[in-house]
Structure 1
Amino acid sequence: MKLLKFAAIDIGSNAMRLLITNVIENDGEVIFKKASLTRGPLRLGMEAFENGEIGSENKDKLVHMMKAYKHLMIVNDVVGYRACATSAMRDAQNGPDIVKLIKDASNIEIEIIDGKEEARIIYDSHIADMLEPNKNYLYVDVGGGSTELTLLVNGKLEKSRSFNIGTLRLLNKSVDKKEWDQMHTWLDNITEKYGKIEIIGSGGNINKIYKLAGTKIGQPLSRVKLMAIAKQLSELSVEERIIKFGLNPDRADVIVPASEVFLMVSRWIDAKNIYVPVIGVADGITRSLYADYKKGKAIKNVLNK
């Protein structure tokens, strides 16, 4: 048996995560098992979407977080890592400057990726292996700054689209109606061409809603149940959601707009259920890192200068 460890850093608009995954090679079988997940509640999106840049306070916190992630990767003997930043860093004018600052301070190289690369990474999570081969699926990942839609046809990535509709943008009331119209049109086009499509939900909010709904593992979350949970949450204040449901403060406010996005998409494609496999960008990163490692490709290591 051989054990390898790979790390994925996902710098989102509402939070950032370090996923360390154990990859176990045993008699020709390869097993991916989460070793640890460290989440930092750093809201880069609030400033990026409102002011067009990330301020000095959050910039300093980001540097401290990256240094902490570096130390965690070192003590875990991580073979390689990849750090990806999404919507907030894309929108921030000083995003490239922050990338350089973090490289100088921690030796961690951050890539600011677009929606298409996010979709490719998600596909690398081997989500197709979990799906029924004769069905079409729409992978819906709702983040703080954007919603990524990825169409899977017969287990293959057919097309993807990123929309600037995210939970923080919705809280700030900064989502243009044209963005919703464009999403609606895109969904109408794919349902007209591909017929019935099932939804796969991704992101911390739908994962939490799935747990709140008490859905049995492996069973889909019904749209009716999602509507009931969304209504229950929306009738409470943020403080009441924290107390009643034990939500983290940075989850308690964004969970309602996230549910609204999932409900809207499910209505537009007439999907009665949402499958929630609890995987995302970070899972895809670690799997693609392992694949590159086996092919002999160069991968980043925090100890490399």
Structure 2
Amino acid sequence: MLEIKKYGAIDIGSNAIRLLIANVIVAEDKEPQFKKSSLVRVPIRLGADAFVKGEISSANIERMVDAMEAFKLLMKVNKVEKYKACATSAMREASNGEMVVTEIQEKTGVKIDIIGGKEEAAIISSTDLNQLIEGDNSYLYVDVGGGSTEFTLFSKGKIVNSKSFKMGTVRLLNNKKAVNKEMFANVEKWIKKNTKDLKRIALIGSGGNINKLFKMSGRSEGKPISFIYLDAQYQFLKKMSYEDRISELSLNPDRADVIIPATKIYLSAMKWSGARKIYVPKIGLSDGIIKSLHYKIL
């Protein structure tokens, strides 16, 4: 007997807000299949509010209300039976974050949970990493967001350590250079300390920017990107103007600036851990939310 369930995941990030609708196909004596039905992305850069002004602006609150209304309608027409909305770094740090959550629920009926960095990392790492982390190899999982980056270290198939750093792409764009330098130094210290005894380490990257870089590489699914290739792309992107990245590379305006600091984070993590390649399995918070809903973890 075949059963198809529909779930929705709303990821309220620092650079954009996403709605993922997925079909979960359940067949007798088989592992459930998770199939993405649709993904809608709205570039509301909440991090530019939270990390600079300390609160979400009234204009962006209005945009969030409109986005949630639209998401609610999309879930209705797609007959989504269950959904979960999670907000991350920008909403965590905004002084009016809880007030925004209350206002959105009152106006739209959409309940939003503001989750911590460790919870965010746990939800993401519950996705399809098993195929990669099996065996004796070690992996540093790096999820780069707009406001924070989550690092999770796997060795022999198990989580060894994890940490969330306030080092995201939108934050790096808005911070002073001295602040960013100190931030990178703290991350370097953590990575070197936790990977010094590990051999044959590789990175696993997630986030919109590494997905875009992977797509630009033309690699086939499952094949890693090398450190040399990523570094060459970084130098190439840095030389281009913001306008050229949009017109010549067809990057979205809200991607064309953050892709530079994101690439730097991945490259730095590879350098400090000694990894020479990075795998990009196309997973993220919204995928983790879908899985968690199905397995009733959330």
Pair in the same fold by TM > 0.5: yes
Partner of 1:162: 164
Q: C-alpha distance in 1, partners of 2:50/2:171? A: 10
Q: Percent identity?
A: 49
2:47 partner letter: G
Stretches of 4+ moved more than 4 A in 1? none
| TM-aligned CA deviation for residue 87 of structure 1 | 0.7
Residue deviations 1:175-213 (CA, integer Å, cap 9, x gap): 443322221111111112434421001001011111112
**Conserved in 2, the CA contact under 8 Å of 1:128 and 1:156?**
no
- Aligned residues of 1:266 and 1:272 also touching (Cα < 8 A): yes
3-state DSSP of counterpart to 1:28: coil
Aligned to 2:241: 237
The answer to whether the 8 Å contact 1:4/1:22 transfers is yes
Give the residue type in structure 1 aligned to 2:174: N
Q: Match for 1:200 among 199, 204, 210? A: 204
How far the C-alpha of 1:217 sits from its partner, in A, is 1.9
Q: What is the aligned counterpart of 1:269 among 260, 266, 273?
A: 273
Q: Would you say the 8 A contact 2:6–2:22 is kept in 1?
A: yes
**Partner AA of 1:59 in structure 2:** I
Instruction: Give aligned pairs, total.
Output: 294
Matched with 2:21 is 20
Give the aligned CA root-mean-square deviation in angstroms.
1.4
Segment of structure 1 superposing worse, 20-29 or 89-98: 20-29
1:212 corresponds to which letter in structure 2?
Answer: M
Alignment-derived partner of residue 248 in structure 1:
252
When structure 1 is superposed on structure 2, of 147-156 and 43-52 the one drifting more is 147-156
Offset of 1:15 from its aligned partner? 0.3
- Match of 2:295, SS state, is helix
Output the CA distance in 1 between the equivalents of 2:56 and 2:103: 13
Paired amino acid for 2:152 = T
Compute the displacement of 1:146 (Å).
0.9
Aligned to 1:216: 220
Residues 260 and 176 of structure 1: CA distance in aligned 2, closer, same or farther (over 3 Å): closer
Deviation at 1:214, TM superposition (A): 1.7
Kept after mapping to 1: 8 A contact 2:15/2:43: yes
Alignment partner, residue 179 of structure 1: 183
Partner residue of 2:229?
225
Task: Provide the residue aligned with 1:43 in structure 2.
Answer: 45
* Paired residues of 1:198 and 1:274 also in contact (CA < 8 A): yes
CA distance in 2, matches of 1:228, 1:49: 30
The question of whether the paired residues in 1 share the 8 Å contact of 2:137 and 2:199 is answered with: no
8 Å CA contact 1:11–1:83 kept in 2: the answer is: yes
TM, length-normalised to structure 2: 0.95
Structure 2: state its 5+ residue gaps: none
C-alpha separation in 1, matches of 2:160 and 2:105: 35
Matching of residue 86 in structure 1 with residue 111 in structure 2 = no
> Which of residues 40, 55, 58 in structure 2 aligns to 1:56?
58
TM-score (norm 1): 0.93
Residue identity opposite 2:111 in structure 1:
E
Are positions 1:151 and 2:153 aligned together?
yes
The answer to whether the aligner puts 1:109 opposite 2:111 as a matched pair is yes
What is the identity, as a one-letter code, of the residue corresponding to 2:165?
F
User: What CA distance in whole angstroms lies between the structure 2 residues aligned with 1:236 and 1:181?
Assistant: 27
2:51 aligned counterpart, secondary structure:
helix
Rounded to whole Å, the distance in 2 between the matches of 1:286 and 1:269 is: 31
Which 10-residue stretch deviates more, 66-75 or 131-140?
Answer: 131-140
Question: What is the distance in 1 between the residues matched to 2:295 and 2:28?
Answer: 17
Q: State the alpha-carbon separation in 1 of the partners of residues 268 and 203 from structure 2.
A: 12
